Structure 1
Amino acid sequence: MDNEMTLSFLAVSENEALARMAMTSFMTVLDPTIEELSEVKTVISEAVTNAIIHGYEENRTGIVTVYATRVDREVTVTISDQGCGIEDVQQAMEPLYTTKQQMDRSGMGFTIMESFTDQLSVKSERGKGTTVTFKKQFQPVGSPFAAR
């Protein structure tokens, strides 16, 4: 492992920006493209927002934890909460599925996360919380696929 970090914070919406900024700083050494940075920040935003809105149902006393590791040019990130959990993970990962229609939630969070990562897993247990883990491989500096 080249590096790791852990960040825990209250389940307060304003802390979603804190999580994005911490991950941006953590990835800087990889010299990511703007697109790579944007994709990871979006996934972090979706997962943290899900923990706050769905996991803790905006109860500001819960804790969200972001744990990240970096090995070579691959970053693995785990976002976890100890909230209410997801009853049916398969169903929750279906595009357009939402339990918060009244909040104008689009139900695209997991779909977006899957499209911006190389690997995504979601584990959840009712009454115990949810853990979202994703991996992202960064293009080598100077790669013809790394538009800079």
Structure 2
Amino acid sequence: MFNNSMKIEFLSKSENTAFARVSVAAFVSQLDPTIEELSDLKTAVSEAVTNSIIHGYENRQDAWVKIEAIIEGKEVTVIVEDEGVGIGNIKEAMEPLYTSRPDLERSGMGFTVMESFMDNLKVSSEEGKGTRVIMKKNFYSLS
């Protein structure tokens, strides 16, 4: 049974999305996930980080995105946080195809993708203070 955690933070630049995905994947690899499970996790992390950069910070590159990953037994919790503009209506933001940035031709599928690839998704936000996305994935089928 593992119990481990890690925290990283990086500037809100789109090019750091790959760093975030790979960092979380490398950390979770101690559970020996399948390639598909690792791919799902990396995709969900990418979506959460992209949301922070594009929507939370509105492409400002001087702010910080924070990620914490926690392993408890065979469950991984990934927390992605920003101190950006926040989300006024979380329920609306989580609707498929909803985007607050149609001018950027965003698909509006970020939260839907996170929900699809993770076992649990919780979003909390306060306008003007930021957003916190908590995603959980169970790896119980792994030995």
Structure 1 length-normalised TM: 0.93
Residue 102 of structure 2: aligned partner: 101
Instruction: Measure, in 1, the Cα distance between the counterparts of 2:39 and 2:16.
Output: 18
CA RMSD of aligned residues (A): 1.0
Matched, 1:34 2:65: no
Larger Rg: 1
User: Which secondary structure does the structure 1 equivalent of 2:14 belong to?
Assistant: coil
Residue 131 of structure 2: aligned partner: 130
* Residues 75 and 140, structure 2, Cα contact 8 Å, conserved in 1: no
Structure 2 length-normalised TM: 0.96
Map of 1:1-148 to 2, 5 A cutoff? 2-141=3-142
Q: What letter matches 2:89 in structure 1?
A: D
* Residues 32 and 139, structure 1, Cα contact 8 Å, conserved in 2: no
* Residues 86 and 126, structure 2, Cα contact 8 Å, conserved in 1: yes
* Residues 89 and 124, structure 1, Cα contact 8 Å, conserved in 2: yes
Instruction: Measure, in 2, the Cα distance between the counterparts of 1:84 and 1:118.
Output: 27
* Residues 47 and 132, structure 1, Cα contact 8 Å, conserved in 2: yes
Unaligned runs of 5+ residues in structure 1 are 143-148
- 1:111 is displaced (CA, Å) by 0.6
Instruction: Measure, in 2, the Cα distance between the counterparts of 1:101 and 1:56.
Output: 16
Runs ≥4 residues deviating over 4 A: none
Identity level (%): 53
- 1:134 is displaced (CA, Å) by 0.7
Unaligned runs of 5+ residues in structure 2 are none
User: Which secondary structure does the structure 2 equivalent of 1:50 belong to?
Assistant: helix
* Residues 9 and 64, structure 2, Cα contact 8 Å, conserved in 1: yes
User: Which secondary structure does the structure 2 equivalent of 1:14 belong to?
Assistant: helix
- 1:141 is displaced (CA, Å) by 3.2
